[in-house]
Structure 1
Amino acid sequence: MAHIVVTRPQGKGEALAELLIAAGHRVSTTPVLQIDYLSVDANQLATLDEADIAIFVSQDAVQGLYQQRDTLPANLACFAVGPTTAQALEQQFLCNAKVPKKQHDSEGLLRLPELQKVEGKTVVLIKGRGGRTLIAKTLKDRGAFVNSLVTYERKAVKGSSKAWLQQWQQQGVEALVITSNSGADAIFACQDESLLQWLKSRQFYIVSERTKAHLVKLGVKGEHIKVAADVDNEAIVACIGAEQEGNMSEQPKNTPKSEPAPSATQPKAVPSQSKPMTQKISKTAVLALLVALAAAGVTGYQYWLQQQAQDQEQNQLQQHLEQLQSDNQALNQRLEALANALQQQQHSAQQWQRQFSDRVNGELSANQRAVAGQIEQAIDGLNNQEQPPLDTNEVKRLVAMADFQLWSEANYAGAAATLKRLDALLASYPGNAQLRRAIHTDLQQLASIEVADVEAVVLRLHGLGGQVDKLQFNMVELAPIESNGEQSQALSDNVSDWRRNLAATWDKLVDDFIKVRKREAAIEPLLDNQQQRLIKQRLHFYLDQAGFAASHKHPKLYTQALQSAADIVTRYFNLQQPQTSQFLGQLKQLQLKTLVPQQPVTLSSVQVVGES
Structure 2
Amino acid sequence: MTKPLASRRFLLTRPAKQAEHLAELLTEQGAVPLRAPMIAIAPSGAPELLTAVLARLEDFDLAVFVSPTALDEVAAKVVSWPAELTVAVVGPASQARAQELGMRDVISPEARFDSEGLLEHPLLQQMAGRRVVLFRGNGGRELLADTLLARGATVEVVEAYRRLPPELGREQVAALLADGCDGVIVTSSEAAQNLFALCDEVLAGQLRQTRFFASHPAIAETVRQFGVSEVVGTRTGDAGIVASLREYFSAPAPAPTAVPAASADAGKPAPLHAPVAGARPQGQWRWIVTAVVLAVLVSLAIVHYQRQMLRAELGSRFNELERRQQMLSAGEQRDGGRMSQLDAQLESINHHIEELRAQQVDLQSLYGAIAGDQEETLLADAELTLSLASQQLQLTGNVGASLAALYRLDERLAGHDKPRLMPLRRALAKDIDSLKRVPWVDYVGLSNKLDTLAGSVDRLPLVVDAKTPEDQAASEAAPRTGFWGELGRALGALVEIRRIDQPDPVLLAPEQSLYLREHVKLRLLNARLALLQRDEPTFRHDLVAADAELRKHFDIRAKPVIATLTTLRELQSAQPAQVLPSLADSLNAARDARRKASREDSK
Rg (Cα) greater in structure: 2
Shorter chain as denominator, the TM-score bin is 0.3 to 0.5
TM-score, structure 1 length as denominator? 0.44
Q: TM-score, normalised by structure 2?
A: 0.45
